[in-house]
Structure 1
Amino acid sequence: METRSLREPDGGADVWEEPGTTWERRRLGRTNLHVTRLCLGCGVLGGMPEIFGYDVAADQGVATVCRVLDSPINFLDTSAGYSAGESERRVGAAIRARGGLPGGFVVATKVDPDPVTGDFSGAQVRRSAEQSLERLGLTAFPLLYLHDPEVIGFEAAMAPGGPVEALLQLQAEGIAAHLGVAGGPIELLSAFVDTGCFDVVLTHNRYTLIDQSARVLLEHAARAGVAVVNAAPFGGGILAKGPDVARRYAYRDADVGLLGRVRWIAERCAAYRVPLGAAALRFSLREPLIASTVVGVSAPERVDQILEWARWPIPEELWEELETGGADGS
């Protein structure tokens, strides 16, 4: 595990205002969007039991998005590929139920390959975007991501007639105000940052309490003026529920060493009466190179819990113990 200082940055790292007031919104990199440091993710609320291990009913998914729209958060993340568009449908239903988006609210979604054929051509990107607009009930995207370009690779993504060219055309037409790229491999995401085509890069499962391999991407993007959005600070659940309940990290079975490290972190958090999830979330929120942190939600009460964890005070002594505990958690 890569290590770095876990201490609060100088000047007071807490970006939140006092409870009961509007949470601070900050400019998202070089875009004209202003977002909260917390973004609610909608990957699970469309229902993907094959990945997350449980399903989500449609009415629960819509109610969850309604709770997000009523919360201090103004940033929501979904994708055309989440549960074959069902996530976007539920987001759209919630937007309609609330009579439209609250002022300044930012909905980000992602273009995906055809779920049947795997086609990820420029034509498919346009189809994906058009279908997303219909499901969400929007006329344009504040932020539109290229999703998981690792499925075709950098050269194919950047080729004439490919997905990046199509995204740039959508931006030129005013359909997408800003473009982002969202994926896994750090070197690949860094290559997309270097193209100058993207204002935002989203990384997932690679900047958490137990894996900071995205640190090089955070620093590279900062030099390029590209905002970083960090998704999955709980690693798919294990850093929220603990290793005795969730035994997978980044959608794969966790090995014995990883389970041991998470158990040690959970024990140290418990010693300070800090929920494991609060420490995992605050670890991402307090990183100045991260513009916003995406946390998946699947129930209205889960939104409330995330808001509570985001405000949870973390003793300096706990950060020091987690920093010096070592990769083996001893």
Structure 2
Amino acid sequence: MRPLGTTGLTVPPICVGTSALGSFPAQYGYEVDERTAIDTILAALEHGFPFIDTSNEYGGGASELRIGRAIAEHGGLPSDALVATKVDPLPGSQDFSGERVRRSVEESRERLGLDVLPLVYLHDPEKITFEEATGPGGALEALLDLREAGVIGHLGVAGGPIELELAYLRTGAFEVVLSHNRYTLVDSSAEELIAECAARGVGFVNAAPFGGGMLARGPQAVPRYCYQPAGEEVIARVRRMEQVCADHGVQLAAAALQFSTRDDRVASTVVGMSSPERLAQVRDLLETPIPDGMWSDLADLIAPGRAGFHPAADG
């Protein structure tokens, strides 16, 4: 277990990502039925994966609802478990006002069956301007009020664009920062954000260590990174990484996961789970022995900066 910044919470190295448990066939290419989703959460709670990440918007609320049913079936949330969720605009709208944030929190409490939400993130705040979010009557004001009232335990921000996350971090209001697809084998553009979180005592959670699948299954199977077609340079680098891993008898996926988990500044790494069997697979990747020599061989391939996008896209 690792400290989550200065929140007083401790978390395991792996956080269970649950967007697929809301059943997103358009994004993931497969359905997840309710029983499988509930069984996945039960297995996580019972077998050493007590940190669960969800969002108000995942599956139109289905992810939270299924997690709530699993918690009820379990007989309540175990004392060592932590469920993090995120506030989102009203589906199909751009309403991310303070009033909408309050309603988002109430919806999450109802679905999850929790009176107090231990950790709530402001989710993808790039949907509105920084001034709108931090101004009077905005999302941040509502979240601070809810934390003061004890409805929220701890407050975080979760998103992609690094400069925007830095701006929110520098308000001093957030205790946890979640970043996705920006700290992987092929993209270390979150380095400044991670360093500043560490300096401020803010917990850092790293999501999408596989970059959407390419760093788990390889570029032949998944020639995309962070929802976009990967550039030729990135694909070439990942192919060379595959060869380095093969030379050492290690799966690329194990290297991708442990690149994140071996960094002491990363409190936890979010990995998507869609079945109980996936938990065992992730544990195997986490426990795979990786020799220091392999990290040395990979060092020149792990380049800084943003990766995986066509020049016209900046993520």
Contact 2:186/2:302 (CA < 8 Å) preserved in 1?
no
1:252 aligns with 2:228: yes
| Paired AA for residue 161 in structure 1 | G
CA distance in 2, matches of 1:86, 1:266: 36
Say whether 1:55 aligns with 2:31: yes
Structure 2 equivalent of residue 234 of structure 1: 210
Say which SS state the counterpart of residue 39 (structure 2) adopts: helix
Tell me the CA shift for residue 327 of structure 1: 4.8
Residue number in structure 2 paired with 1:113:
89
Q: Compute the displacement of 1:317 (Å).
A: 1.0
Partner Cα separation in structure 2 for residue 310 and residue 192 of structure 1: 31
SS of 2:121's equivalent? strand
SS at match of 1:302: helix
Between 1:206-215 and 1:286-295, the stretch displaced more is 286-295
Q: Distance in 1 between matches of 2:16 and 2:283?
A: 10
RMSD of aligned Cα (Å): 1.4
In the aligned structure 1, how far is the partner of 2:28 from the partner of 2:238? 19
CA distance in 2, matches of 1:299, 1:244: 24
Contact 1:193 1:224 in 2 (8 A): no
The yes-or-no answer on 1:32 pairing with 2:8 is yes
The Cα of 1:64 is off from its aligned counterpart by 1.2
Give how far 1:195 is off.
Answer: 0.6
C-alpha separation in 1, matches of 2:96 and 2:297: 46
Provide the C-alpha distance between the structure 2 equivalents of 1:242 and 1:54, rounded to a whole number of angstroms.
20
Query: Does the 8 Å contact 1:261/1:327 carry over to 2?
Result: no
CA deviations 1:31-68 (Å, max 9, x no partner) are 02111121111111211122223222222111111111
| 1:87 equivalent in alignment to 2:63 | yes
Question: In the TM superposition, what whole-angstrom CA distance separates every residue of 1:96-130 from its partner, at most 9, and x where no partner exists?
Answer: 12111122200000000111222000000011000
The answer as to whether partners of 1:180 and 1:198 remain within 8 angstroms in 2 is yes
Structure 1 gap segments, 5+ residues each: 1-24
Q: How does 1:58-73 map to 2 (within 5 A)?
A: 58-73=34-49
Q: Does the 8 Å contact 2:187/2:302 carry over to 1?
A: no
User: How do 1:206-221 and structure 2 match up within 5 A?
Assistant: 206-221=182-197
Q: Secondary structure at the match of 1:208?
A: coil
Residue ranges of structure 2 left out of the alignment (5+ in a row): 305-315
Map of 1:313 onto structure 2: 289
Most deviating of 194-203 and 57-66: 57-66
**Cα separation, 2, equivalents of 1:232 and 1:123:** 30
- Pick from 128, 132, 142: which aligns with 1:152? 128
2:265 aligns to what?
A: 289
Q: Secondary structure at the match of 2:63?
A: helix
The separation in 2 between residues aligned to 1:220 and 1:86, in whole angstroms, is 35
Letter aligned with residue 290 of structure 2: I
TM-score by length of 1: 0.89
Provide the secondary structure at the position in 1 that maps to 2:255. helix
Deviates further, 319-328 or 197-206: 319-328
Question: Equivalent residues in 2 for 1:125-164 (5 A)?
Answer: 125-164=101-140
SS in 2 for 1:86: helix
What SS does structure 1 have at the residue aligned with 2:21? Answer: coil
Bigger shift: residues 152-161 or 256-265:
256-265
What count of residue pairs does the alignment treat as equivalent? 304
Partner Cα separation in structure 2 for residue 311 and residue 262 of structure 1? 22
Q: Residue type matched to 1:174 in 2?
A: G
Name segments (4+ residues, structure 1) moved above 6 Å.
none
What is the aligned-residue identity percentage? 51
3-state SS in 2 of match to 1:177: strand
Trace 1:162-177 onto structure 2 (pairs within 5 A): 162-177=138-153
Structure 1 residue 280: Cα displacement: 0.5
Please give the alpha-carbon distance, in whole angstroms, between the structure 2 residues aligned to 1:111 and 1:43: 14
Shift of 1:326: 6.5
